[in-house]
Amino acid sequence: MESYKEVGRSVKRVDAYDKVTGRAMFTDDLCPKPCLVAKILHSTIGNGRVVSIDTDEAKKVPGVVGVFTCFDVPDFAYPVAGHPWYADSAAAKRDIADRRLLDDRVRIYGDNIAAVVAEDNVAAERALRLIHVEYEEYPVVYDARESMKGTEVPVQEGKPDNVVAHTLAVTPKEKLGEMGYESVEDALLDPKYHHFAIKTFTGEQSQAHIEVCVSYCYEEGGKIVCVSSTQIPHICRRIIGQALGIPWGSVRVIKPYIGGGFGTKQDIHFEPLNAWLCHQVGGRCVKLELSREECFWDTSGRQPKNFEVEASVGDDMRLHARSIKGWSNTGGYIHHGHALVLNSVNSFRWLYHTCEDAVRCEAWTIHTNGPHTGAMRAYGVPEGVWTAECLMGDIAHDMGWDGVEFRLKNAIAPGYVDEFSPSNTISYRTDGLRACVERGKEIIDWDNKRREYANQAGPIRHGVGVAFMVYKTAVAPFALETSNAQITLNQDGTFQLQMGATEIGQGADTVFCQMAAEAIGVDTEDIHIVSFQDTDVAPYDPGAYASRQTFVSGTACKDAGTKMRKRILELAERLYPDAQGELDLRNHAIYDGGDNRLCGLADLALEAYYNIHKTDQLSTRGQATVHQNAIATGCTFCDLTVDIPLGQVTIDKIVSIQDDGRLINPKLVEQQIHGGMAQGIGFGLSEELLVDPKSGRVRNATLLDYKIPTMMDVPDLIAENVETQDPMGPYGNKAVGETPIISPAPAIRDAILNATGVKFYEMPMTPQRLFEGFKREGLI
């Protein structure tokens, strides 16, 4: 493995001091006070059309500056997903434009139909209550497969069967022929193999970030300026431009520190409306802050999904054929659309794809009148891995095999190349998975516990479980991966690092400083990062999603650093033309080939800035277009206690071991894994937005009713890494931000199965679902 000096150090977070002292400024801290506030009027029906809106009374409320309805807004449809744009308009890679600032077509309960701008929240709320709306109402459909049969009025125009997209990928005919089959179905039903078929469901998890969605807009310098708690400031700029029908260069977006996003803030939900309302009131500063309740149902959670899976497996423990069908309920709007369920079925396939097996993957994304859905941490992968692990767990259980042994027989192995990928850039190059599993087994004491828990009876039972994980870093080759970075030498020999990539709490700023320092050859402490992104001055980068930043943006960062080192040494050569041998930068100084110190870096910086004969403020621009990706893997083991009559699970021990390639900052990686494990436990056991199927209304849009794990629910979390050197990562690194949420839930499911013999297929495994399952299987 490569040897690094700054990469691999657990340096303190660069934002640690500001964040623990409360000094760090978030969007609402920065918002001028007083300023105007905007509030949104939401529909009280789940499907239909606004016939008329009467705002007369609302406009009379003292303090109200303006009331605007769906009949006032410009007719620009725009996409909201935080995806890069495409130069080629015909490429069909551009996101679907199905949102309007306000819409008279109500597609979901609580749809946005009017907005009030007022001098304070009280006036705005009073005015909202005085707006009278007349609707034409249509029946609500919430079940995706019901919706596919078609509705009288399609949810979105032009899609009579409400299907956004349908894809099918199958092992090529030739290979099937070699296997002796006409189709994957034949391989599945070959009587020489054991056949399994299951159905799974994964619910709508909400990101439940600490900081609500908030932005404020004002006009200045001929631009609309939007300060927003967003993961994707440059994309936000583009989407505001599209939504308002104005040139993108006329929009300026500023991203301060943000208090969590987990994918919600990878959509541009309200910034365009905020910008438009600001313009309607003459460019005065207008703040639009969602309530906690609105965050739950008017932004986008994880798509609920159904899967049907079949598999055939040989006595040699090898998977012979698999088929997955996935149906994703995208709700009334497209947001990230089909990419999510594609990620589910692909990760199902990759994790246990030996390339000797036959595979069939089919997926649908369907409109219903369900709430918004979109990106959430790991972006469809947890749903696919949940499904894969339900299958693997069932097979191991039914065949009496050791679950670890069975999984290892089939798990993705080095040299794997995705045979379905058009460019074959999805390949598994470095394998830490097997070492991860060894270490996990050891920590959880797998073999002994399996024996210990072998024959249990009674209401309280124990079980150990396992789940593997696979995650493809960044979005190439499916989508564009691009990033830019800029480094400038300061007069004191320190550096300014400007990234377009965003710190969203994950520690990005810190690891970028480490990577820049490594490339230049200085200490991390010598790098000052510009933490805010201001699209007027920040290099272009689409932002934080897909665990792409250390991988893609890190490549741009390294490029800028490498160029800076080169520029410094070139300047040193100019200043010391008679120096012997090759010059080197180390210990904050320039050395000649004979190890003589020529000058300090700070002295060189002063020459760069202030030499009377020739100045040269050193500033370098790093750039990356990344076409490769790197597959991160790992596993979770857990040991738990099930109280069968109460339907209660207590996790006694849980450990996640990951191969995320080289770790830029081991402590930060550990913290990421801790957070992901906790969120994964919530995903597995308690977190689900509950939707009334008759109205489409979310029933539990509060932090009281939506159950995120508390300190009481999360045991000590054990997180470790097996380091590998990925050849594609800028410093051998792979994804880490999203990976840890993937395997905890299925590991818990596997432990419950091993403890009780009961198979659960629906997530989250709430006490209600567990109770019903145990009752169904006669344990209660």
Residues forming the site for a second copy (CB under 8 A) = 14-15, 17-18, 23-25, 33, 84-88, 91, 93, 219-223, 238, 241, 247-250, 283, 480, 482, 484, 486, 490-496, 498, 528-531, 534, 536-537, 539-540, 603, 606-607, 609-617, 619, 621, 623, 625
| Rounded least distance, CB 617 to a second copy, Å | 4
Q: How far is the CB of 604 from a second copy (least distance, A)?
A: 9
CB of 472 to a second copy, least distance (A): 17
| Radius of gyration over every alpha carbon of the chain, rounded to an integer in angstroms | 27
- Looking only at the bridges linking them, the beta strands covering 762-763 and 460-472 are unpaired
Give the 3-state DSSP-derived string for 731-743, with helices as H, strands as E and coil as C: CCECCCCCHHHCC
CB 78 within 8 A of CB 99: yes
Minimum Å gap between C-beta 361 and a second copy is 24
In sequence order, what E strands does 597-668 have?
Answer: 597-600, 619-625, 631-643, 648-659
* Closer to a second copy by Cβ: residue 589 or 606: 606
Task: Report in angstroms how near the CB of residue 187 gets to a second copy at its nearest.
Answer: 35
Least Å from the CB of residue 86 to a second copy: 5
Asked whether 311 and 188 are in contact (CB, 8 A), the reply is yes
Least distance to a second copy, CB of residue 591, Å: 20
**Contact between 206 and 689 (Cβ < 8 Å):** yes
Closer Cβ to a second copy, 260 or 542, answer by number:
542
| Cβ–Cβ < 8 Å for 662, 726 | yes
Minimum CB separation of residue 374 from a second copy in Å reads 21
Q: State the minimum distance, in angstroms, from the CB of residue 257 to a second copy.
A: 10
Of 112 and 531, nearer to a second copy (C-beta) is: 531
Query: What is the edge-to-edge ordering of all strands in the sheet holding 460-472?
Result: 460-472, 631-643, 648-659, 717-721
Alpha-carbon gap, residue 659 to 1, rounded angstroms: 14
256 vs 715, beta carbon nearer a second copy: 256
Residue 507 has φ and ψ, to the nearest 5°, of 100, 15
CA angle (173 as vertex; 168, 174 as ends), nearest 5: 145
Question: Quick one: 10 or 619, whose CB is closer to a second copy?
Answer: 619
* CA atoms in the 13 A half-sphere facing the CB of 654: 31
Indicate the residue among 127 and 556 with the shorter CB distance to a second copy: 556
Q: Three-class SS of residue 298?
A: coil
CB 480 within 8 A of CB 423: no
Between CA 310 and CA 541 the distance in angstroms is 41
Q: Rank residues 29 and 442 by Cβ distance to a second copy and give the closer one.
A: 29
Cβ proximity to a second copy, 225 vs 745, nearer residue: 225
Residue placing its CB nearer to a second copy in the complex, 242 or 547: 242
CA 635 to chain centre: 19
Nearest distance in Å: CB 285, a second copy: 10
CB of 627 to a second copy, least distance (A): 8
Nearest distance from residue 563's CB to a second copy, in Å?
12
* C-beta closer to a second copy: residue 145 or 597: 597
Smallest distance from a second copy to CB 275, Å: 16
Q: Which is nearer to a second copy, 94 or 318 (CB)?
A: 94
Nearer to a second copy, 87 or 457 (CB): 87
Contact yes or no for 479/548 (Cβ under 8 A)? no
In Å, how far are 38, 176, 351, 416 from 426, measured between CA atoms?
45, 22, 13, 8
DSSP state of 612: S
CA dihedral 5, 658, 653, 754 (to 10 degrees): -170
Looking at the Cβ atoms of 424 and 710, the one nearer to a second copy is 424
- Give the Cα separation of 584 and 503 in Å (integer): 32
Q: What does the alpha-carbon distance between residue 197 and residue 192 come to, in Å, rounded to a whole number?
A: 16
Phi, psi torsion values for 497, nearest 5 degrees: -115, 125
- Min CB(484)–a second copy separation in Å: 5
Q: How far is the CB of 612 from a second copy (least distance, A)?
A: 5
Would you say 686 and 766 are in contact if contact means Cβ atoms under 8 Å apart?
Answer: yes
Containing H/E element for 62?
none
Nearer to a second copy, 578 or 610 (CB): 610
Q: How far is CA 316 from CA 192, 319, 359, 488, in A?
A: 12, 9, 18, 59
| Phi, psi for 528 (deg, rounded to 5) | -100, 120
Per-position DSSP letters for 469-519, written without gaps between them: EEEE-SSTTTS--EEEEEEEE-TTS-EEEEESS--SSSSHHHHHHHHHHHH
Rounded distance between C-alpha atoms, residue 539 and residue 623, angstroms: 9
Sign of the CA dihedral with 180 first, then 185, 188, and 190 last: negative
- For 372, counting Cβ atoms within 10 Å of its Cβ (0-12 exposed, 13-18 middle, 19+ buried), the class is buried
Q: Which is nearer to a second copy, 480 or 745 (by Cβ)? A: 480
